[in-house]
Amino acid sequence: MRRAPRSLLWLGVVTSVALSVSGEARADDPAASALIERGLDLRQAQKDKEALALFEAAQKIAPSPRGQAQVALAQQALGRWVPAELNLRAALAAKDAWIESRRPILERALGVIATHLGDVEIVGAKGSVFVDGARVDDPEAISHLRLEVGRRMLEIRSEGLYPFSRTLEVTAGEVVRLEVEQHPLLESARSADGGPVDSRSSTGDPGGTQRLLGYIGVAGAGVFLAVGVGGLIERNSAASDYNSSFQCTSAPANNQPAQCSSWMNEGSTGSTLALVGFIGGGIVGALSVALLVTAPSKPKTVALSPPVSLPCAPTNGGAFCALAGTF
């Protein structure tokens, strides 16, 4: 929080002094009264933080409208405008003689505090509200916020939904209306236990199909090679039978027995099969190896608690992505 300007600090000191000058100002409880008096001395010495601690301690011992007003004025001096307004309004709402006797002074202080605050009206939101990274515990915060003037980062988080975030410019005395759109998390953005995971992770295998084709290709290459080997065996067998027959090697080609022609045909067929098998096996094998080598690796699914996550959701201004995790 920014500390209040020096002029406002002196206003707070003067106000506190003015509110403590009569015996009527003393609290009923002696211990609480002593703490308040010590706190007033610290306020005059401009030790507002220490004074606030004493006023809060007095309120724990014996809560009173007077003590709450002093807490508010110390918070005002420290620039804690939101709690200062809450406490001072509560003190002014009390039916208390001490408050009534000093109402004009307190209302002027409330007017000063109001110049540092603006309103945000939230429509269509559910979940928890965070302002500048800090959670707001007020149950009404999901529909209305009273914030310090200036630029504020507002975020709404809800289980099962992408976080919604906006940077707002809060102006004193004005109401900023914010319509919220929250979108369900995609299944790919959830872990097995319902928490978010790295959006790049997936239970699938992006290279699975390519690897499957590669393995099929390897099997196909094996079939081609088997055909080639079979063709080579057939050719060599036919050639051996042909060469071992005197009738085939001694007679002219056009006067050879039918068996010789059969062996020649078998040898030619075997040569063709060997050629096709070895060439086809080499080509298919090379393609299969290329598919296997270039297939994307299967990613590891990373479940995080809290996780590293990058959930994104569409917004009126484009897209919002929230990065969170444990490092």
User: What DSSP assignment string belongs to 140-186?
Assistant: GGGTEEEEESEEEEEEEE-TTB--EEEEEEE-TT-EEEEE----BPP
Q: Which CATH number fits domain 6-114: 1.25.40, 1.10.3470, 1.10.287, 1.20.120?
A: 1.25.40
pLDDT in the model for residue 213: 86
Asked whether residue 202 carries a pLDDT value surpassing 80, the answer given is no
Res. 300 pLDDT band, cuts 50 70 90: low
Residues ≥6 apart with Cβ < 8 Å to 195? 303, 304, 305, 306, 307
pLDDT digits (tens, 9 = 90+) for 219-257: 988 898 898 898 889 889 888 887 887 777 777 777 777
Asked whether residue 42 carries a pLDDT value surpassing 70, the answer given is yes
pLDDT digits (tens, 9 = 90+) for 92-121: 999 999 999 999 999 999 999 999 999 999
Global pTM? 0.52
Q: What is the CATH number of domain 117-184?
A: 2.60.40.1120
Region of poorest pLDDT, from 89-98, 198-207, 273-282: 198-207
Res. 62 pLDDT band, cuts 50 70 90: very high
Region of poorest pLDDT, from 130-139, 174-183, 250-259, 313-322: 313-322
Region of poorest pLDDT, from 125-129, 206-210, 262-266, 311-315: 311-315
pLDDT digits (tens, 9 = 90+) for 12-38: 544 554 455 433 434 468 999 999 999
Asked whether residue 129 carries a pLDDT value surpassing 50, the answer given is yes
Res. 168 pLDDT band, cuts 50 70 90: very high
pLDDT in the model for residue 115: 95
Q: What is the mean pLDDT of the chain?
A: 80
Give the integer Cα–Cα distance in Å for 169 and 178: 11
Region of poorest pLDDT, from 35-44, 119-128, 209-218, 302-311: 302-311
Domain residue limits, the chain: 6-114, 117-184, 208-294
Helix (H, G, I), strand (E, B) or coil at 206: coil
pLDDT in the model for residue 63: 95
Asked whether residue 133 carries a pLDDT value surpassing 70, the answer given is yes
The stretch 253-277 carries a mean pLDDT of: 82
Helix, strand, coil share of the chain (percent; to 5)? 55, 15, 30
The stretch 181-203 carries a mean pLDDT of: 61
C-alpha torsion 224→227→232→238, nearest 10: -160
Asked whether residue 3 carries a pLDDT value surpassing 60, the answer given is no
Region of poorest pLDDT, from 76-80, 116-120, 322-326: 322-326
